[in-house]
Each structure stands twice: as C-alpha cells, then as structure tokens.
Amino acid sequence: MGFKYKVSNDGIYFLTTTVVDWIDVFTRKELAEIIIESLKYCQKEKGLVLYAWCLMPSHLHLIASTAESKSLSDVMRYFKKFTSKSIVAAVKEINESRREWLLDKFGFAGRTNFKNKEYKFWQDGFFPIELDTTSFMQQKLDYLHNNPVAAGIVYEPEHYVFSSAINYTGQMGLIDVLLIE
C-alpha cells in the first residue's frame, strides 16, 4: 500500500526511511557509502537540499527540502528505488557473512508486496514532518544528531562518521549541508 503525504515544495522536513524489519545493514561501510553517494547525487542532480542527516545501522534521518520546482516526494522515490537496487546488488557482491539471510529477508518482503518484483529493501514511506518553527527544527536537529549517542555508538554526536553533526562544529563532514542557524 502506498503512502500519500502532503509535502509542499517550500517546506523543510524531518524525514525517516527504514530498512525492512529494521535490519542493521549500514554496519557495512560499502553499503553506507551507497547512501552517501546517492544523497550527494540527489543534491547535485535532483534538487535535494540537505540541512542535516544521520545514517543509523537500520534507518536514515534527514532534514531536507528541495530546490524550486522540485518535489521532495519525487526525490525520495528516486533515492529509495536507486539505493534499494544498488544495495541488494552490493550484498550479492561484497564479502557479507549474512548474504543469504539478508537476501532471503529482502526477497520475502518483496514477494509479499505487490509493487515489488523481487526484493524490497526499504519500508514504505518516508514520514515527512514539516519543521514550521525554529524551536521544532532545533528539536529535530538535536534528536537526529544525538541518535548515535542514544544508541550507544559514540559518546559525542560529532564523532559519528555517518552524520552531519561534524558539519555543525565548523568542520567538513562526508556530505555538504546547509547549516540551520
């Protein structure tokens, strides 16, 4: 079943997209790099404007909008479709000890969803929450960057490689972001 969201072209949104069954796949650097490169591509070619991001082992949080005349729903649809195919292909190629188990899980999710032919990597939806006040935006920014701390992965948000927290300390992270002032 598809999800319909009311997403305006001029709003800034907190988004979350999650791997089926909350499977921890982004513990593999090769798979995390697919997400990073895809986000960079969407920034350059699809009009994605990133303010913050955090790739956790089983899900991705973004604070994002789009350039004029671009649709956030379209960008997210493209991103999820491309990364889903790329990650499944990578799982088949890399030295992944859970390869058969992962492909079985993604295959089962795909077979039980009429929109998929073979594999399903992402859960449906991206759950946009419009950040319409400065305080709400700051709350979601803090939540996003503190997610790895709350999960016990790092002690300080800026020490987590797969997030924009370091950008907010004045240093360069893996992806350029437009800082929220």
**Lowest-confidence segment of 61-65, 121-125, 155-159 by average pLDDT:** 121-125
Top pLDDT among 143 and 10 is at 143
Check if the beta carbon of residue 129 is closer than 8 Å to that of residue 143: no
What mean pLDDT comes out for the span 102-111?
92
Return the pLDDT at 157. 98
Return the pLDDT at 2. 46
Residue 124 pLDDT > 80, yes or no?
yes
- pLDDT digit string, tens, across residues 19-58: 999 999 999 999 999 999 999 999 999 999 999 999 999 9
The strand ranges marked E within 2-85 are 13-18, 48-55, 59-66
Task: Give domain status of residue 145, yes or no.
Answer: yes
Task: Give domain status of residue 135, yes or no.
Answer: yes
What mean pLDDT comes out for the span 127-141?
94
Q: The domain spanning residue 77 has which CATH number?
A: 3.30.70.1290
Residue 160, domain extent: 13-169
Residue 119 pLDDT > 50, yes or no?
yes
Counted domains in the chain: 1
Average pLDDT, the chain: 93
List all residues 6 or more positions away from 181 whose beta carbon is below 8 Å from its beta carbon: none
Top pLDDT among 115 and 173 is at 173
**H/E stretch holding 129:** strand 129-130
Return the pLDDT at 4. 54
Task: Give domain status of residue 136, yes or no.
Answer: yes
Task: Give domain status of residue 3, yes or no.
Answer: no
Residue 1 pLDDT > 50, yes or no?
no
pTM score over 0.75: yes
